[in-house]
Amino acid sequence: MANAQAPSSVGPGYWSVAVGRALIAVLPAVIITFNRDHSAQLGLIVFGAFALASGLLLVLSVRRTLTVAVDRNLFLINGIVSMTAGGLALGFHAGGHGFFLFVVSVWGAVTGFLEIYAGIRVRKRPAPAKDWLFTGLATATLALLLLLLPPNPVVSVGLFGAYLVFLAVFLPIAGLSLKWDTPRQRRAAPTNSAPTSAAPMNTALVKNAPTNTAPNDSDSL
């Protein structure tokens, strides 16, 4: 008898949220990677646009794609924090390198912790747990490195660009894996088959059936 798997906490359309987060990260990653200007002002503008867009996506989508109330609340808070940080970065884009470090590191610490906690909660549900843990760890690591590395705008903005590249590569793989694995898991689900008793009954009938034997020549004489 097959072991029953723990139910997934994501709906069938959640894969599009992961892919959407990746698409939002593509343009900022390209801008930072191919731009020689790694100033704090550019970093604040790029981060602000990214955080505002990704936060808005989470707020609008998690209600219909997450099936567990606690997970929905965690990602709603994640989206609101991202939108708030993005709005601050865009509103004060001339705040300098210190403000860039403050906004991005606080955003990374809060949203990274929320996503790590969400992944730990659903660790018995294989579909989203690994994806949320990896994304949360990457975000929290970004915040930690921004605080530990030397305060250089080129390094800080470049590090944020590398984080965006990670999202642009990892999240589509995670999202498409969720999309493709769902039908496969449904097809692999065990089906109940009724026991067949016809075969033994037929065998018994064959054994008990009379057999025609030819008369012996000695009896007829």
Each residue's pLDDT tens digit, 45-83: 999 999 999 999 999 999 888 988 999 999 999 999 999
For the chain, give the mean pLDDT.
82
Q: Is the pLDDT of residue 110 over 50?
A: yes
The pLDDT assigned to 188 comes to 42
The pLDDT assigned to 81 comes to 98
The pLDDT assigned to 217 comes to 47
Q: Is the pLDDT of residue 42 over 90?
A: yes
Helix (H, G, I), strand (E, B) or coil at 43: helix
Contact 136, 125 (CB under 8 A): no
**Of 37 and 163, the one with more pLDDT:** 163
Q: What is the pTM of this model?
A: 0.78
Q: Percent of the chain, pLDDT > 70?
A: 76
Straight-line distance from the first to the last Cα atom of the chain, in angstroms, rounded to the nearest whole number: 66
Domain residue extents for the chain: 15-187
Rounded to whole angstroms, the maximal C-alpha distance in the chain is 126
In one letter, which amino acid is 41? Q
The pLDDT assigned to 127 comes to 66
The pLDDT assigned to 124 comes to 75
Q: Is the pLDDT of residue 1 over 50?
A: no
The pLDDT assigned to 178 comes to 82
Interval 91-111 mean pLDDT: 96
The pLDDT assigned to 32 comes to 95
Q: Is the pLDDT of residue 216 over 60?
A: no
**Of 40 and 11, the one with more pLDDT:** 40
**What DSSP assignment string belongs to 66-81?**
B-SHHHHHHHHHHHHH
Residue 216: other Cβ atoms inside 10 A = 8
The pLDDT assigned to 194 comes to 44
Q: Among the listed ranges 54-58, 116-120, 172-176, which one has the minimum average pLDDT value? A: 172-176
Q: Is the pLDDT of residue 35 over 80?
A: yes
The pLDDT assigned to 94 comes to 95
Helices (H) and strands (E) counted in the chain, each on its own, are: 8, 0
> Angle CA(169)–CA(175)–CA(176) in degrees, nearest 5?
95
